[in-house]
């Protein structure tokens, strides 16, 4: 679970450990692997027409970007507890909303940083239009947020429970 405010990112201990492990892998074994791929591709000859070399260099660039992102995120991270199960929407909670108050048109999502997104449940950042609209609301309350086309959408908060991962 994460909550970003200013330059601080709040993480549970589990999320912090997971991101730290990813950073350690990318900074160590993964760097060695990509260096070996680049060296092997370089030995194949002409670099201008060497697809394997260019693919390995592109992979290296993406990997280094992720290392920088994780380093910055973890430098600004504060480890804290999961949110209280008090019915108030906040980062780290699974939220159920009804669009325009229609109980048949609902969405369950995790309100959290994209760093904590999983394939199990859709994730919305607290900075997203929907995320900022529901953040701080209580179960039973209505929330409004601005759509990309400039219109305003209304949702009703049906449920908010801490994410169990």
Q: How many C-beta neighbours within 10 Å does residue 14 have?
A: 13
Instruction: Give pLDDT tens digits for 33-62.
Output: 999 998 988 888 777 778 888 899 999 999
Residue 13 domain flag:
yes
List the CATH number of the domain containing 100. Answer: 3.10.50.30
pLDDT tens for each residue of 65-119: 999 988 988 887 777 666 778 889 988 889 999 988 677 889 999 888 766 666 6
pLDDT of 9 reads 66
Question: How many structural domains compose the chain?
Answer: 2
Q: Name the more confident of 51 and 1.
A: 51
pLDDT for res 6: 45
Domain shared by 68 and 99, yes or no: no
**What angle (nearest 5°) sits at the alpha carbon of residue 24, between those of residues 125 and 165?**
40
Query: Is residue 31 very low, low, confident or very high in pLDDT (cuts 50, 70, 90)?
Result: very high
Owning domain of residue 74: 2-79
Q: Which residue has the higher pLDDT, 96 or 127?
A: 96
Question: Dihedral angle at the C-alpha atoms of 9, 10, 15, 20, nearest 10 degrees?
Answer: 50
Confidence of residue 126 (pLDDT cuts 50, 70, 90): confident
Q: Is the pLDDT of residue 3 over 50?
A: no
Evaluate if residue 8 carries a pLDDT over 60. no
Q: Does 114 lie in the same domain as 148?
A: yes
Do 75 and 11 share a structural domain? yes
3-state SS, residue 76:
coil
Segment 152-157 mean pLDDT? 93
Residues 10 and 74 in one domain: yes
86 in a domain, yes or no? no
Residues in the chain: 165
55 plus 29 within the same structural domain:
yes
Query: Are 105 and 46 part of one and the same domain?
Result: no
Specify if 121 maps to a domain: yes
Residue 145, pLDDT > 90, answer yes
Whole-angstrom distance, CA of residue 53 vs CA of residue 41: 5
Q: For residue 113, list its beta bridge partners.
A: none
**Is the pTM higher than 0.85?**
no
């Amino acid at each position: 679970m994460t909550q970003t405010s200013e330059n601080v990112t709040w993480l549970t201990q589990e999320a912090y450990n997971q991101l730290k492990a990813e950073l350690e892998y990318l900074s160590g074994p993964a760097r060695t692997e990509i260096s070996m791929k680049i060296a092997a591709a370089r030995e194949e000859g002409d670099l201008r027409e060497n697809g394997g070399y260019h693919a390995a260099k592109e992979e290296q660039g993406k990997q280094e970007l992720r290392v920088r992102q994780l380093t910055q995120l973890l430098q600004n991270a504060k480890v804290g507890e999961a949110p209280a199960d008090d019915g108030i929407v906040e980062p780290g909670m699974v939220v159920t909303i009804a669009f325009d108050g229609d109980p048949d048109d609902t969405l369950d999502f995790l309100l959290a940083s994209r760093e904590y997104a999983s394939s199990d449940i859709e994730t919305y950042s607290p900075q997203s239009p929907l995320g900022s609209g529901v953040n701080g609301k209580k179960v039973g309350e209505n929330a409004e947020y601005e759509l990309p086309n400039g219109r305003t959408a209304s949702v009703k908060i049906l449920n908010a429970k801490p994410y169990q991962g």
